[in-house]
């Protein structure tokens, strides 16, 4: 628990910065429920998997390789859960995962899009697009939209965004620079990918109107996790120094996405950007539904160009 977590008051939900994934799911019986989780083998994904299983849920756990997924399931000790390979920067891997999920015929109470990469120091591309945008947004967009038919009538979709969406370009999404070739800075590109995650959740929730399904975008907090493995060494050192003061623990970081996935109170905030298990106002353009619709359409066009 960081100093900041101790000092920040709890919000209207009764939870706050210091709440853990176990805290927000306390007393909630998830037996008979099934969740899909990406990035399940490390960081807050691993903690989310552990707590969902602790509460009795079955989890379809996705990781870069099947071996990593099965290893973390074995570690958690949940024989019911299933491991599937899904490398979100690789359309073929995602396609294979979608087929396996569809063959499994699971009906999901929740889909948690947790995986991601952060702040690549140099421009890297995946299939012609800036890699953070492709992995964090396009990969999840492809996966989630193709398995929505297996989301239960009252199912929830939780998309991991970040307060770093505020670092996105002034244009919100640079549709004319999705490959990063015109300009590239690590944090602006990361911010754009997180803005895309937020807009995806907003548009998805809009498309759920008239149903009991809901979608959330989540800021987990600033956490020391494997997400920053691409960061320069000096940035990693700085993170280590400030961790006791400002960084959340992994159990605290997993709390908001677990809250949105399982807690009854979360339904009061359908479609919201959530932080510390409470609604939070995002950057104003993150609620521009014209941009959200355009992003959805552009994302579908990208998938068509990729032939998937």
Determine the Cα–Cα distance for residues 218 and 122; give it in Å rounded to an integer.
26
The answer to whether 39 and 116 have CB atoms below 8 angstroms apart is yes
Side-chain-facing half-sphere of 44: CA atoms under 13 Å: 29
For 282, the token pair is 């995002």
Task: Write down the residue that tokens 């008979």 correspond to.
Answer: 32
CB atoms within 10 A of CB 103: 8
Annotated catalytic residues are 184
The answer to whether 160 and 111 have CB atoms below 8 angstroms apart is no
Enumerate residues 6+ apart whose C-beta is below 8 A from 176: 182
Helix and strand element counts for the chain (H, E): 12, 10
Determine the Cα–Cα distance for residues 122 and 1; give it in Å rounded to an integer.
33
């Amino acid at each position: 628990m960081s100093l900041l977590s101790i000092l920040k008051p709890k919000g209207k939900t009764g939870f706050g910065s210091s709440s853990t994934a176990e805290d927000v799911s306390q007393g909630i019986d998830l037996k008979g429920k099934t969740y899909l989780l990406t990035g399940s083998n490390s960081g807050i994904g691993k903690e989310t998997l552990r707590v969902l299983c602790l509460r009795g849920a079955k989890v379809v756990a996705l990781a870069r390789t099947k071996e990593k997924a099965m290893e973390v399931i074995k570690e958690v000790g949940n024989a019911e859960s299933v491991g599937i390979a899904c490398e979100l920067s690789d359309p073929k891997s995602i396609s294979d995962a979608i087929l396996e999920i569809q063959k499994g015929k699971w009906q999901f109470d929740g889909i948690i899009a947790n995986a991601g990469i952060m702040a690549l120091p140099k421009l890297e591309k995946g299939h012609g697009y800036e890699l953070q945008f492709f992995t964090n947004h396009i990969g999840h967009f492809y996966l989630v939209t193709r398995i929505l038919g297996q989301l239960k009538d009252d199912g929830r979709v939780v998309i991991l965004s970040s307060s770093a969406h505020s670092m996105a370009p002034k244009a919100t999404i640079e549709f004319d620079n999705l490959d990063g070739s015109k300009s590239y800075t690590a944090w602006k590109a990361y911010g754009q990918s997180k803005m895309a995650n937020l807009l995806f959740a907003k548009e998805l929730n809009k498309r759920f109107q008239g149903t009991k399904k809901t979608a959330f975008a989540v800021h987990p907090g600033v956490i020391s996790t494997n997400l920053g493995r691409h960061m320069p060494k000096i940035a990693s050192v700085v993170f280590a120094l400030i961790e006791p003061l400002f960084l959340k623990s992994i159990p605290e970081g997993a709390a908001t996405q677990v809250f949105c996935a399982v807690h009854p109170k979360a339904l009061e905030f359908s479609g919201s950007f959530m932080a510390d298990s409470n609604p939070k106002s995002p950057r104003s353009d993150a609620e521009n539904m014209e941009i959200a619709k355009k992003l959805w359409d552009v994302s579908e066009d990208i998938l068509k160009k990729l032939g998937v």
